[in-house]
Amino acid sequence: MTVGTLEDILDILDVLLTAGIIAGMFLRFRGRKLTTAAAFFIFAMVSLLLTNAYWLAHSLLRPDARIPMAANTIGECALYLLLSAAMNAAIPDRRFTFSPQVLCTVLFAAASIALWIAWTGEWVQDILGGITFGYLLVCCAWRLRQLNALSRREWIALGILTAAYTALFAFDLKDERPLCTVTAHILMFATMIWFLYRAFRSIRRGETAGRQIVLSVSACAICLSGVYMSGGPWYAAAEVLRMLSMLLMLVAFGREAEDV
């Protein structure tokens, strides 16, 4: 099986999974009042479904042509903003507080945009998508800090990991070095898996719906970042982790149905 075939299979699974999540949310809230957070989450999944369907159609019909800036870019930006709105709606306290974690997140988002531009050469698309994605990351850092979801040691470890693999990707930009590439991806995947574990642990422990939502959306955001920084087999692996994060979000946002 070629990498291209594997990616097409994952794209099909992604469309089916997203459609299933939308249906699952409606079933979870059947007979109950749909909360604002859940509504925003459903809208986010609809945007993702349309984006994935567009991407899949383009991959099957024109596999050798690079996808242009089009409906999928708009859909991705909508996804980031709607996920941010869903997460913020789940937390009653909306007072924004600036912190070192937020500052580091802004720097990480800026570095990611620079790397995307260097890789693709598409300034408008990467800046537009990067700013909205950066907003999602900042909301995640803000809410994680607000809820004390991570300890001081965890924040330090997270900062070291993200800074390390971002620096390695930048160092490996012009002349690809196998050891550098593998190390960067290992560190990045360790970060993604750790966030998935933290979200899963929060759900398993039955923590508040708001805490579960913030951790699961944060896991999805870091997995999305991993998808955007990967290629080939690494991309396929990152996509699998990103789809796992979607299942965690389904459980977390569905938890709100119990409180209605």
DSSP 204-225: HTT--HHHHHHHHHHHHHHHHH
Query: What pLDDT, on the 0 to 100 scale, is given for residue 82?
Result: 97
Tokens of 47: 């945007």
What is the pLDDT, as a whole number, of residue 219?
Answer: 98
If you search the block for the tokens 């490996």, which residue do you land on? 172
Query: Along the chain (260 residues), what's the average pLDDT of each consecutive run of 10 residues?
Result: 76 94 92 89 96 82 63 88 95 85 96 92 88 97 94 95 95 79 96 97 94 97 96 92 97 78
Question: Could you tell me the pTM of the whole model?
Answer: 0.94
**Contact criterion met (CB below 8 Å) for 83 and 217:** yes
Q: What is the pLDDT of residue 260?
A: 53
In this structure, how many other beta carbons lie within 10 angstroms of the beta carbon of residue 8? 15
pLDDT, position 123: 86
pLDDT given for residue 64 in this prediction: 66
Cα–Cα separations (whole angstroms), residue 183 to 73, 154, 170, 189, 257: 30, 20, 13, 10, 42
